[in-house]
Structure 1
Amino acid sequence: MNDLSAEPERLHYLDGLRGIAALVVFATHLSIVIFPSIFNGLPIMSRLDYEWKLAGTPLGILWAANFAVCIFFVMSALVLSRFYEREGDNFLAVCIRRYLRLALPILATSFFVYLLWTSGAMFNLKAQQITQEGWLKSQYLTAAPGFWQFLSESLYQVFRVPTSEFNPALWTMKYEMAGSVGVFALYALVPQRLLRIPVLLLCLTVLFKTYYMCFVGGILIYEWMKLSPAIKLSLPNWVSWMLLVFGAYLGAFPYNVATPENIWFGRMLFLDVEEWHMIGAIPLVFACVTLVPVKRFFTLAPLQYLGKISFALYLVHGPMICSLMSFLIVSFYWPPHARAAMFLGVIAVVPATFLVAHYVAKWIDQPAVRISVIASRYLNRISKGSFAGTEKWRPAPKVEQTGSRRNKSVKEPIAVEAPASGL
């Protein structure tokens, strides 16, 4: 049975899951460059003899970046729902806090990309002529944009449209910001839980086949976590394990393979690939929340460290591949042997990317969290509940009666920090 009766103040196991998801995104973009046939199933593009045979198999979960992003969305909704119910006194303040928490690291890392781009340090187009795959030639195609365009995109456009010239990974920020505001709005406008559940089910229907469905799923998981221990303990372990396997199976659904009628996924094509990933992310995160062995695994120290640097790793890995790794591929390539140069590039870029991510997390990401908290508390102080519709609903004072004595007490909100990662 599942023991969820005692949740810690911070859900540390979600940090571990977030770290693995960020690692999968990194591994995917590396694999696209050096092992393209595990995505398209074409033997002619295989760097290794067996590589193309892996295309379309459940092992694709190891290079399923889109599925990892869906997991980010589900976890964001879960954590932000929990945060808003505990500390969301002011709707406007928490929205600004969320914006700053995302925008400041994006601005800093995009400036890093801007410097690389303007100095001619992006070698991805030259490297693509060697690798002959498609991802590298889809980035940094023109001359570097101007400084004001860099500012506009980093602070505004990246949250408006699902694309970015400075960092391909930032296509998710439109959904992340809009989904976060949606979570806050739901709890601000629908404080009654009995009414909130039907609203969520309606949203699940309306938002089906969009990435916002993942946010609805994350809120529903959080609502499950608030149920009484007796109800939660009634869920058998085998059900959660089945949901874990089912979610991972859907997450491995491939994009393009040479023979789509394959043994694993040939009968599942009535939905788009992204839609299978969205559907699979919800039961997988739910299983991770309910299974004690899985939660303990995600609290291992290496995974906790991955979670700590996950947002930074997500932001810097693409530019590092397009600059450092591509430079090494171009520099060490000699015809007709391309594999040695590509593998050398991977060997060098992996530790370098983790090193950069470590210091971005330390010097940029963590200070951004603190700045966002300070700004939110300042807005709370100056507003004093004056913003119409932004004050969090609070329950009426609870009256406990013992004999002829009455004890009145008001439960104060618990102060918790924002999620460690922006995803």
Structure 2
Amino acid sequence: MNATKATAPRPLDLAGIDDLLTPEEKEVRASVRAMCQAEIQPHVAEWFESGEIPDIRGLAKDLGKLGVLGMHLEGYGCAGMSATSYGLTCVELEAVDSGIRSLVSVQGSLAMFAIWKWANEETKQRWLPGMAAGDLIGCFGLTEPDRGSDPGSMLTRARRDGGDWVLDGRKMWITNGSVADVAVVWAQTDEGIRGFAVPTDSPGFSAPMIKHKLSLRASVTSELVLDGVRVPGECAFPEVRGLRGPLSCLNEARYGIVWGALGAARSCLEAALSYATEREQFGRPIGAFQLTQQKLADMNLEYVKGMLLALHLGRRKDAGTLHPTQVSLGKLNNVREALEICRTARTILGANGISLEYPVIRHMNNLESVLTYEGTVEMHTLVIGEAMTGLPAFR
């Protein structure tokens, strides 16, 4: 029996996870990585520091040309790629910045998915092709100023007025809100919670930017204000009622976060490894000291486990067997461990770890938001706890 000689593993793929990917998946990843490194990476630290993306519409169009906006959806100009390919895309986007992945995630997994899944055909045709191309930008309005983890208690209301609907309320922490052309808004009605595709040029609609953020600074974050916003009846999603609609969208976005957080972790691990081999103290690189190697080994171990979990969930999603509880498992673990990887990388870089000359503090700050949006640590913990015990503990 001939033994196959094993090749030495690469430092950032010690488990050989790349061997589990198809050639098409690797090609998608390579294309997204090339675009991100060439077009976004050189500027993103400056965007973070200034708190704005100077040409976000131009960036959206570039991402549309790349085919990543709604890439896991079928038809309407969408690429129809696999869930695993979408996950790998999220890794590359978040490796440059969580704010960039959020732009793509909110566009494709929240706003576009909501319209694709729940809107009537006229609304789909009106918005989806332009959104897939990046010519139109969408946002998703669910969270309210005092209604975060309990969206069922939302105060935003929509009432019928003849053939129209009139919406009143406020939404908070809305990515893309100030630049959006269409807002997917969820509101209480006499028929239960319903969704609406609201053109943002409607009278009574405004979206002031939220400033003074120390996280997700390379991202547009807004409040949505709806004061008597009147929309035609066809803007309402015709069939879905209750929280089933918005939660189905959140599950799509959370899946992308399972992967995306690992991009931030990889970026910090790369920075820490490079720094450890170049920075000298006591006459040798700090990577030669046992305590530094322990940090690097522990960081890599958690990164590998996170990637294996993400890939497993991706395969399940492609097979149509992914359960929302499994997404909670992935989101809770991978974001929490990614944040710990970034914090450990910061210690390896020492004082340089807080400088925007390196990506570490930027990723750390961003992940503090990723940790709590699309479901807090507490909520995902209770989802997992209920799946284990059969006993709900949300109230």
Flag the structure with higher helix content: 1
Tell me if both proteins adopt one fold, taking TM over 0.5 as the criterion: no
Query: Which structure has more RCO (C-alpha within 8 Å, separation ≥ 6)?
Result: 1
Q: Which has the larger radius of gyration?
A: 1
